[in-house]
Structure 1
Amino acid sequence: MPLSDDIRVVVAIDFGTTYSGFAFAHKANPKDIITQDYWNGREGEGLFKTPTVIKYDDSYENVESWGLSALTKKSHRSFQTSSKPLKWFKLYLLGSALTYEKPFLPDVLDYKQVITDYLEKLGEGIKSRLKMHWNDVEFDKQVVVVLTIPAEFDDDAIAIMRKCAFNAKLIPTEYSQNLKFTTEPEAAAINSMDTLKNEHKLGPGDLFMVVDCGGGTVDLTTQELLNDDELNEITVRTGDDCGSYNIDRSFIEFLGDKVGKSAMDLYEKDHYVNLQNIVQNFLGGFGMSKYLQSRIRKKFWEDDVPKISVPDLPIISIMRGAVKYGLTGKIKKRVLKWTYGTIAVRKWEPTDPLELKLPNGYIKVFEKLAERSHQVSTVEEVTRFFKPYSLSQQKMNIDMYITTLNDAKYLRDVKLFRKWEVNLTGVDDYDDDNTITFTLKFGEMEMFATAKNKAEDVQQVTFKYNLEAPLNKMSGIIRSETL
């Protein structure tokens, strides 16, 4: 989607598990992408990223240092704090998907606060750097921030990242459209486009897999190249908790299993292709490892998949690709992780379970809006119509539910996902035309909702989520006022 006329600069932030960095470009010179390569007074030596580490004072209330300085700064003995540098805190966003011991955090600190504090410090560096290049650019109005996220992040993690970005002063309002998300493999795929076309002769309709071996996770996606360098995501995004801290036989076996399954099993029947036509695109901090590259070539892909591409600087591939995504919006379609829908009420039928029959002879059923594993366009919309109970009703709650099933029918088959709250204005009568048109966009990394009354007046829609609830846990079922 083209940038609005107000936007001047795109900034990409690669908030990593072990290292973080940023890159940026002005839309007047989109090919001139600048990657931050000096931190805390040090430059050169390939310092494209700084450690994702933060250090607080003894009370853990104030940030003492962050990034490289949190690991290297030496305090005078009489002023030395006893607090330890905090790292790996991004992994808390994996929720119940986190398969090993949680990183250390003091009892007085919540991981969301730590992420916010780190992003705020990183944001201060970003704003200072932009001022050096374009002093007249207003950050809150003329800058789009693109945050890259791991492929396995769920919707809760993305919502929390948005809240943290807002609290870190990266965006002026919580629901600002000046913050966008893209997955790390997607960004890398965009950045590798020229190499894939020129070196490996990929054209429209060809597929390639992105293997992102980062410091803390391994992410995989398969993409289809379209005309005009646009991409379709083919496989459901996948990822796991494994990285460069575990360079041993079990890791190599894990990666082989993961890539084998992704290459052979994750294709939908309509997208099956010969593996000889796939380019494996290696990137990420760990992707720079010559040891890893040689083992992968020898053990897994030398015979089956001879086309392996490694960017010259994998460590900056994601940042540069995210800038290009922000400038051009190259992702055309994405694959849904869930089946989404709402709850409707109809008359109970003899084929329905008797135990689900309501006292009034009705039953609650799942009404599907979008299906898991379905490719959706970034501009695709789903529209539903809702009607208020009365003229005096001020707000309407529209509940959304999710499931991994494609054939879910009843409330017992799904779980509550989000509560949308719509403010009602301009309701002056109560007839068949007095409806609210509720529209959802599924194709972006986040869902966006709009609501209009019969006069086409846009109603305020608030995205309700519980930042205090554990990630990836079953939510309680709450009845919607629209039922």
Structure 2
Amino acid sequence: MTNSSSDIRVVVGIDFGTTYSGFAYAYVNANVDTPNSIETNDTWPEKKGEFKTNTVIRYDDKFNVLKWGLPALAEKVSRKSKNSKFEEIQIAELFKLHLGDISEEEKPKLPLGLDPRKAITDYLCEIRKLLKSRISDRWPGLIYFKHVRIVLTIPVEYDERVRAIMRQCAYDAELILTLESENLEFTTESEAAAIYCLENLSEHPLKEGDSFMIVDCGGGTVDLTVRTILPDLQLSELTESTGDFCGSAYIDKEFKKFLEIKIGKSALKFMEEKHYPHLQYLIQYFCTHVKLPFDGDERNWRNKEIDLEEVCPVIMQYVKGEEREDLEGCEWLIELDFQTVKYFFDKVVGNILKLIREQLTKSEKNIAAIFLVGGFSESNIVKGAVIYGLKMDAIKTRVLKKTYGINYCRNWTPNDPAEKMKIIGGQKKILVFKRLAKKGTEVYVDQAFKEIVYPIYKEQSACNFSIYKINADDGKYCDDPEMKLFGTLNLEIPDVHLGFGRPMEFTLTFGQMETRAFAKALKSGKSVQANFKLEL
């Protein structure tokens, strides 16, 4: 990757969230311990005083961006304009979830023909325009984006394949100058929150050696990590970080299921396909008037009513049969009592508690504190991302979520499967999985995993290794069903005249957010070309 760390003058943390996004920035010479050294953006299109804006884009029928953030949300439509100009616009939201490992049925609907990667790129492009304006006002004379390090937060369950997609989107959005630029770094949302907590220990009775848990409840995902405080205010990862798709957007999903019962399956389908902006406005209304005020205490609850005729009049033309009779009988009012709303929350809260229990069970140390973060506020996640960009050594260790290895060529033996035998250079060979790094291992972020290899024929001038990953402690053969191709490592093998006597050492680092490769010829000690290409 292109190394330009010495040119960095400003660090920007971008919290690109499922439902809300924000960014903060700081000059590299700023005193991180001084709260005012990190500035959180609070001015957005048609919105001021809030530290985040909605992760929503409004397109025209050719997928040109019309508006983004809060202005992209659907407005209220009067009863006199049921077939308004709304039908000419297309709204994209929750598109970040399309990168997650969830079924197609669970992925949010997007306008027909819209690739979620385009939506991500378009949104990051709008962020970039606003970000450049803010930094230009604050520090005139910077070269964009040569002097700016971007730290992008991602959910803990997003693997390296997704990080590569995000890197491509960031490049297409012109946040970085080259695809390989080291001016873009990643950190998980829970890791960024942990870094922020580490920098504010005076607010909490934690000390060196203590372990704490971060529970980041976002719009789409909930991420958990357990960290131990090391000397010099560094953090190690105690257990494998975990997460799931059970953020606040899934409460909205439960409301939609409830709405489907009230209006009928066909009516909801028509709304999703023909009048999505109207449906989105109805869900916004639910969030503002029902979801956000709900605190789980029945003593504070007053039943809520949603007047469909007032809030979403277009829906009335699609309701048929018994559902229509019932709604007409109650004047198109939907009542939400405490138990109904609690049911919307129960599944999401239950999943979060399950994740917490699993982390507590896995931890071999006592957890001194649990920090609950996330939500629509001045996010300690985005500030933690900036701190990470200022102090890249804040994270000392991470725990591997997969086992990694190579397809290693060795001599075939009679104990090996006959069908897996290969004839290479006139000799019987077999490709087996050779483990490099084991799942669950705590590794330093720059820890090297090395392997020495030799040419398999005299004239060989280059070779490649397929790197595999598996969700187990080890594997046997790379063509086993549970094996997943992680990427390909290409190596030069110089000094062909030396024949077989050319040992090569290659190194892979798995502790960083993006895997990197190095290699050298052991006889000469010289570095040689090593390229790692991720499987997408």
Q: CA deviation at 1:139?
A: 2.4
Question: Does 2:167 correspond to 1:167?
Answer: no
**2:58 and 2:67 in contact (8 A); partners too:** yes
Q: Do the aligned partners of residues 460 and 79 (structure 1) sit closer, same or farther apart at CA in structure 2, a change above 3 Å counting? A: farther
Contact 1:185/1:219 (8 A) holds in 2: yes
Matched residues in 2 for 1:390 and 1:81: separation? 66
Deviation at 1:72, TM superposition (A): 6.1
Matching of residue 125 in structure 1 with residue 127 in structure 2: no
- Offset at residue 48 of structure 1 (A): 0.6
With over 3 angstroms needed to count, the CA separation of the structure-2 counterparts of 1:66 and 1:394, relative to structure 1, is farther
Q: In structure 2, what is the equivalent of residue 285 of structure 1?
A: 375
CA RMSD of aligned residues (A): 2.8
Distance 1:410 1:425 in 2: 25
5 Å-filtered alignment, 1:1-80, equals 4-31=5-32, 32-44=37-49, 47-60=50-63, 62-71=64-73
Structure 1 residues 344 and 235, CA, compared in 2 at 3 Å: closer, same or farther? same
Instruction: State the distance in 1 between where 2:191 and 2:86 align.
Output: 43
Distance of aligned partners of 1:249 and 1:283 in 2 relative to their CA distance in 1, 3 Å threshold:
same
Say which SS state the counterpart of residue 367 (structure 1) adopts: strand
What's the offset of the Cα at 1:58? 0.8
Query: What is the rounded CA distance, in whole Å, between the counterparts of 1:408 and 1:42 in structure 2?
Result: 53
As a proportion of its length, which structure holds more helix?
A: 2
Contact 2:9 2:28 in 1 (8 A): yes
Structure-2 residue corresponding to 1:464: 533
Letter in 2 for 1:438: F
Matches within 5 A, 1:319-334: 319-329=382-392, 330-334=394-398
Counterpart amino acid of 1:236?
E
Aligned-pair CA distance for 1:175: 1.3
Q: CA 1:104/1:30 → structure 2, altered by over 3 Å: closer, same or farther?
A: farther
**Aligned-partner Cα distance in 1 for 2:434–2:535:** 24
Which sits farther off after the overlay, 331-340 or 390-399?
Answer: 390-399
User: Following superposition of structure 1 onto structure 2, how do residues 258-277 of structure 1 map, counting pairs within 5 Å?
Assistant: 258-264=355-361, 266-267=362-363, 272-274=364-366, 277=367
- Residues 409-456 of structure 1 deviation map (CA, whole Å, 9 limit, x = unaligned): 22244332111334x486563434545432211211111112344655
Q: Which residue of 2 aligns with 1:145?
A: 150
Deviations 1:96-150 (A, max 9, x none): x358521122342211121111111111111111111111112232111101011
1:182 aligns with 2:165: no
**Aligned residues of 1:391 and 1:427 also touching (Cα < 8 A):** no
Q: Which residue of 2 aligns with 1:305?
A: none
Q: What aligned pairs does 1:367-382 form with structure 2 within 5 A after superposition?
A: 367-382=434-449
Aligned residue among 499, 507, 514 for 1:439? 507
SS of alignment partner, residue 187 of structure 2:
strand
Residues 487 and 535, structure 2, Cα contact 8 Å, conserved in 1: no
Select the residue among 92, 95, 100 that pairs with 1:94. Answer: 100
Q: Are 1:347 and 2:353 an aligned pair?
A: no
Question: Could you say which residue in structure 2 is the equivalent of 1:418?
Answer: 487
How many pairs align? 425
Output the amino acid matched with 2:231. Answer: N
Query: Where does residue 401 of structure 1 map in the other structure?
Result: 468
Partners of 2:145 and 2:176 within 8 A in 1 = yes
In 2: Cα distance, 1:396 partner to 1:134 partner: 48
Amino acid at match of 1:84: Q
Q: Is the 2:404–2:437 Cα contact (8 Å) retained in structure 1?
A: yes
- Which residue identity lines up with residue 376 of structure 1 in the other structure? V
8 A contact 2:461–2:494 mirrored in 1: no
Whole-Å Cα distance in 2 between the matches of residues 429 and 81 of structure 1? 71
2:353 matched to which residue of 1? 256
Q: 1 CA distance for matches of 2:458 and 2:128?
A: 46
Q: TM-score, normalising length from structure 2?
A: 0.73
Aligned-residue offset at 1:363: 2.2
Q: Gapped runs of 5+ residues in structure 1?
A: 287-312, 468-483
Choose the corresponding residue for 1:155, options 160, 170, 178. Answer: 160
Q: Percent of pairs identical after alignment?
A: 42
Structure 1 SS opposite 2:396: strand
The amino acid of 2:514's aligned partner reads E
